Structure 1
């Protein structure tokens, strides 16, 4: 989804909202502060800790690492919240386009609120369910229990798939680093040989 433009009141509301959240880095320039996606992950973790593994996001200066952080956020976190942002918006945030991050913060704020509302409704529904299950069992029907078990299995499988995807991304990253180090070692060896040192 495209993040919509904001008016002045909405911008001020976003700045005030961000100021209420404890973040690991002081906010100096909101566009640059959020460019690598780490603080965005921290905001979601503050409200919905169970869907964010903060270790997946590292402080980044390179565009490649920033892209990695935002793509991980998009596929592993925002998707669970029921939305994903466009590559155009990700690029705008990484390039520190004015108000790009504020627009995404607004979307995230709304989606966090919706996610927490749904969670609350689900909890109320879950609290009511045992009575229904009891009634069904009294009638000699316990069809509901296997359903719950299959839902739990589906959730566990989904979580495991996502964990595997994250680990695969990490492996790719490590492989790239190893290749970089190997090429640097080769360059140094060549320089030593050229200098007559073996």
Structure 2
């Protein structure tokens, strides 16, 4: 686990229970795992027990629940009060979840992804059957699969709306042409009636 913290998240510490007590370092790790879902300013460095506990409650509510790692009030209190071995259990679980996420990404990449290169843009198309938040490679950045799926859904809705607007526009254009023809016909009939008097 210490090696995972060092290699994967650039965190070195001999006193994990103290360094993680305010939740700040946990926020940094979560930012690396789910970059689109973590705002580091929500988890500032804290000194007092109540402030540290507040950070852990926020992390638990906003992030750990999404990773199916919900912590009990008792565990959060132990973390905030720097109890030894409590952070070890939480970090081990997080390490396991992160490894599972990356294994799933590799599995999906091997089984269901298609690679396309078009005008120097590389993209991976990932199957939408997944209900977990995996990472999708997009041009020059990483985005979560949930964000990708939401944007794709919004794009489909926008395309449908655009098609409806185009159909209505075409209908209005046809009606305008018919009205122009009617007006021209009426004008020519009026001109003929005026000429006959």
- TM bucket by the smaller chain? 0.5 to 0.7
- Return 14-23 or 32-41, whichever deviates more: 14-23
Residue in 2 that maps onto 1:117: 103
CA distance in 2, matches of 1:51, 1:117: 20
Please, which moves more after superposition, 94-103 or 44-53? Answer: 44-53
Q: Does 1:27 align with 2:25?
A: no
Task: Name the count of aligned residue pairs.
Answer: 123
After TM superposition, the structure 1 stretch with the greater mean CA deviation from structure 2, 31-40 or 69-78, is 69-78
Cα deviation code 1:118-171 (max 9, x no counterpart) = 44555664649x8x9xxxxxxxxxxxxxxxxxx627x99xxxxxxxxxxxxxxx
Residue matched to 2:135: none
The 1:121–1:73 alpha-carbon spacing in structure 2 relative to 1, beyond 3 Å, is farther
Match of 2:178 in 1: none
The answer on 1:152 being equivalent to 2:150 is yes
* Matched position secondary structure for 2:36: helix
Higher relative contact order (CA 8 A, sep 6+): 1
RMSD: 3.1
Q: Counterpart in 1 of 2:93?
A: 107
**1:15 CA drift (Å):** 1.8
CA distance in 2, matches of 1:47, 1:152: 19
Higher fraction of helix: 1
Is 1:83 the counterpart of 2:69? The answer is yes
Question: What TM-score do the two structures reach when normalised by structure 2?
Answer: 0.52
Correspondent of 2:33 among 37, 47, 54: 47
From 22, 26, 30, the equivalent of 1:36 is 22
Where do residues 42-191 of structure 1 align in structure 2 (5 Å cutoff)?
A: 42-121=28-107, 125=112, 127=114, 152=150
Q: Distance in 2 between matches of 1:94 and 1:31?
A: 9
TM-score by length of 1: 0.52
- Which has the larger share of strand? 2
Structure 1 portions without partners, runs of 5+: 1-13, 133-150, 157-198
- Greater Cα radius of gyration, structure 1 or 2: 2
Contact 1:36/1:70 (8 A) holds in 2: yes
CA drift at 1:16: 2.0
Shift of 1:50: 2.0
